[in-house]
Amino acid sequence: MKKIIALVMLVTGISEAQNIGEKHLKNLKQLTFGGDNAEAYFSYDNKKLTFQSNNAKWGLACDQIFDLDIEKAAKDTNYRPSLISTGNGRTTCSYYLKDGKHILYASTHESGKECPPPPAPRQDHKYLWPIYNSFDIYVADLSGKIVKKLTNAPGYDAEATVSPQGDKIVFTSDRTGDLELWTMDIDGKNQKQITFGLGYDGGAFFSPDGKKLVFRSSRPKTEEEIKEYKDLLSQGLVAPTNMEIYTCNVDGSDIKQITQLGKANWAPFFHPSGKKILFSSNHHSARGYDFQLYLINTDGSGLEQITNQSIFNAFPMFSFDGKKLIFSSNRNNHGTRDTNLFIADWID
């Protein structure tokens, strides 16, 4: 039987390691081939993706932002998407504007051409994320020309996404001394802090109707946790190993903790119905580094595992018509550490 399955996979061009037992994902297709490719998000017409990559074959030393044509990428394994960011500094978290002609992203390029260094190895071997205070949020056209700088406050401004209606942006900033969620109009005006609890609030996305947000948060509670969080933040670092999923209204009211799973629960995105949330988690893992996608109701019930292949699956986003799912995975990487983009038909 295994030989028959392998033959079918070979004929159809699908790797056996990609999709067995993942009933919600059909017609899975790999779109990138090499390096770390992540945080891919659909254009409003569902034909393109903007994402970040550090693919060394493209001459990249650290993450830069690209504009990818889905149809071309699906047909050509050598397809190279268009560079949108400047090629200088480090970038993160890009997203299309609704006009389809502009992409916003965060970048450190104004502070220098070189990639800012990653955190130095620690004796305690803690896994940490750097919070570069040189990140600001920019809007570029599809030729890569920056047409507007949206943030100018000192400190970290990044992780920006746009509402489905195209009129509002949510982002993370530490300008008031903690990593909080902020909103602003699509032109950068009316910047407003909407979360205030101690802890890292980030990676926020709007609900399909634009009325709610879903995000990840560390929210330290014990004296020891609070001290560690503040100490790391003073060094421009966060430990993303203990996070849960939260929702709130766009103005920050009615905040609710959705998951209580322990470990790292992150990269949430609303299901097209607005009644469920898809997210990445390692709560099930004894080793720690085994991230799978899960679906949960917005009241915290009905947890369901979606992926089971490889040890890293994250950054899911539904297309605006609800028919497709894009996500990052290190499946089918032939023993390397590469993380690539995969697109699939979503089956409820």
List the beta bridge partners of residue 280. 266, 293
Which amino acid is it at 2? K
pLDDT at residue 78 in the model? 94
Contact between 146 and 129 (Cβ < 8 Å): no
pLDDT in tens, 275-289: 999 999 999 998 768
Structure tokens at 120: 């130095």
Residue 18, pLDDT score: 52
> Tens of pLDDT along 27-55?
999 999 999 999 999 999 999 999 999 99
The reported pLDDT for the residue numbered 179 is 98
State the CB neighbour count (10 A cutoff) for residue 202.
27
Hey, what amino acid is at 11?
V
Query: Among candidates 252, 261, 247, 263, which has minimal Cα distance to 299?
Result: 247
pLDDT score of 19: 73
User: Which positions ≥6 away from 303 have C-beta within 8 Å?
Assistant: 261, 294, 295, 296
Segments of the chain scoring below 70 in pLDDT: 1-18, 288
Q: Which residues contact 316 (CB under 8 A, 6 or more apart)?
A: 267, 269, 278, 279, 280, 293, 325, 326, 327
The DSSP output letter for 119 is P
CB 121 within 8 Å of CB 130: no
Q: Which domains can be identified in the chain, with CATH numbers?
A: 25-346 (2.120.10.30)
Q: What pLDDT sits at residue 124?
A: 84
pLDDT of residue 7: 27
pLDDT at 286: 83
CB 124 within 8 A of CB 166: no
